[in-house]
Structure 1
């Protein structure tokens, strides 16, 4: 091994081929411009190139790849949603996630661990039973379990936290985690290999619309003409849409999380409680991650706050009392773009040739593969895939909302 490393280091071919080509000048035009270099934007670029042969694509990221919400989430992957539309959509995303490491030849550290959601009231138990049946119908591995089964699954969990004893649980075997930055870099690596251009530190300052059609974008590095554009900018979805001249039914809120110092492994499943507004998981490095609901007021900021820290710690200690002695290592936040029905907006916009990937709220990461694949199909063929048709913007005009309120690991 030492000789091999020395030989490699002295080789004329050193350094090795990089995953992302070095920066280059922007061209004057592209077939497709993708606004946002997070997981979704990179996935769309990759699937456009792989399945549809569209490689004249520019991904424009105002900062660094995956530096927005992709890097500011807790990396949970699941499909145990409330509606048939949601379960079908996220179930397909889980199946794609399971193959990504092989597809990229790049380890995304996918780990199937299961998710346990706790029911503290009779009403929650009834709702969970219905939820389990919807998931089973569409191929998800979800079932109700009782207190004894919960005790066997998570021996360290406090089943009687204060005034909210645990009555039952929703056990979702497909629950998993993956390394969020690895997912973004995997898509970026494979998209760049196929000819997609990735431009960091390139912000879109305006969009050019002529006769109701998008014809280009204006960036801090100059104007670009394009055949079509897609916005995938997460918490800034509504501000980007305003530049195109229309409003989105989206309000952005901070979403905070925190992590402790590493401790010995004690928790394999992801455990959540909407009644306590908290979910807990342990990473492969031993850190304990706490997350909860969004902040109660709109704000375009990724700052952390003391009140959320106190609230999450209080709930986390109710679930796992021995964590009272753990030291908090860091705290962070992302910006969630919430819609009135807590479901995303995917598809065409009121502006021709301008497409929307928005309204993901707290579950954008877990939708990364299927969002990229379906949006790429829409752009390439001009036909909306059946899987995302229910998530069109027009549903708000026709009162066909897809209510996923409360489907997250902690209530909003």
Structure 2
């Protein structure tokens, strides 16, 4: 809870002051020190940390739609750090730690809820892999442990322990698993950035990137041209398309990712429950709705449409885990667009074009990385291209040098 909420609750003089969280739209300036392409969570987070911690405020966030209207608005709001590799675990643990304090950082409630995440193991091989993940997490300060079926039943009494004739043998219990209101995260970062002088330009589409002698000098938009000192690309789902404007070929394939939500019911499920064998995860929101998600579509496509075949597959697997959910009605279904790399890890840092910085390839785990991504990308920009140690393993040249950071098995519902 932000401290200001408590302060306002105890305030005796009414009405409270009325103010706008975001400034009114303005004209584009001719020049900015930093242009950020993409007004989602990562873009506004980078702008916020640039302004607050580095004093760089001549920044323009250019968003072709509306604030947080891309993948930020289309994810299932899961926060976790139980990854496979030491590089991945260190990175996401820092993000979880930042998430815990964001409401007070912003003076804006992001509705952070510590829930815990339970991933089910149905085979001996999965148990071995979970044991390794638990030890890597604990080594770097995360709270993850392997638990037995009895402990699972105590955590989730309503779970079917033999879904699809695949007995649950063990579980990876990630105590730090959580959720937050995804829209509120974007709004909080945008509020903090714009209050410090950053400009947010919605309905402003970048149509081309201006590169001269191997160095970015500006961008073209549907509202005119803008010169700049550097560009940060943060456009989840369209990373390859935007990078191509700067002459950069990205090692990314883009897939739709679908999810859905049921009618609300009384609270019965606190942890987030997933099964990689069933390619499905289930969680209950604070409003009682059941969120159901899984792996990405099996074919590349730039489309945010929903499909009947994936709906049937996800619902069948969710009902295997919680049979009584068969009586619930589905309220809505949606999809996002995921940029997948071959090693299931992001691309962050420098690009072949001077002063053009990449924040891409987030696949299904972009939301949970929002705070630490914004913080480290801001450090990269403010340091004039000096790559922070935490994101050095995620550079794009790792694919040329065979230094992949393989997180293929670390998704909540394996792809």
Asked if these proteins are the same fold (TM beyond 0.5), I'd say: yes
Query: What's 1:189 paired with?
Result: 191
Partner of 2:28, secondary structure, is: coil
Alignment counterpart, residue 52 of structure 1, candidates 54, 62, 72: 54
Does residue 409 of the first structure (1) align with residue 412 of the second (2)?
yes
Query: What's 1:198 paired with?
Result: 200
Does residue 323 of the first structure (1) align with residue 329 of the second (2)?
no
Shift of 1:352: 0.3
Query: What's 2:5 paired with?
Result: none
Shift of 1:162: 2.5
CA distance in 2, matches of 1:126, 1:310: 31
Query: What's 1:245 paired with?
Result: 247
CA distance in 1, matches of 2:296, 2:14: 52
Query: What's 1:17 paired with?
Result: 19
Shift of 1:246: 1.6
Shift of 1:8: 4.0
CA distance in 1, matches of 2:357, 2:388: 14
The 5 Å alignment of 1:36-75 reads 36-75=38-77
Does residue 386 of the first structure (1) align with residue 389 of the second (2)?
yes
CA distance in 2, matches of 1:58, 1:5: 39
Shift of 1:276: 0.3
Does residue 397 of the first structure (1) align with residue 400 of the second (2)?
yes
Query: Per-residue CA shift, 1:2-54, capped at 9, x if unaligned?
Result: xx999749xxx8xx220110000000000000000000000000000011000
Partner of 1:227, secondary structure, is: strand
Query: What's 1:81 paired with?
Result: 83
CA distance in 2, matches of 1:305, 1:406: 25
The 5 Å alignment of 1:194-233 reads 194-233=196-235
**Alignment gaps of 5+ in structure 2:** 1-7
Query: What's 2:299 paired with?
Result: 297
Query: Per-residue CA shift, 1:49-96, capped at 9, x if unaligned?
Result: 011000000000000000000000000000000000000000000000
Query: What's 1:126 paired with?
Result: 128
Change (3 A) 1:5 1:238: farther
**Alignment gaps of 5+ in structure 1:** none
| TM-score, normalising length: structure 1 | 0.97
Partner of 1:387, secondary structure, is: helix
Query: Per-residue CA shift, 1:272-328, capped at 9, x if unaligned?
Result: 000000000000000000000000000000000000100000000000000000000
CA distance in 2, matches of 1:246, 1:8: 54
Aligned length: 405
Calculate the aligned-residue CA RMSD, in Å. Answer: 1.4
Partner of 1:393, secondary structure, is: coil
Shift of 1:406: 1.6
The 5 Å alignment of 1:98-109 reads 98-109=100-111
CA distance in 2, matches of 1:17, 1:97: 25
Query: What's 1:268 paired with?
Result: 270
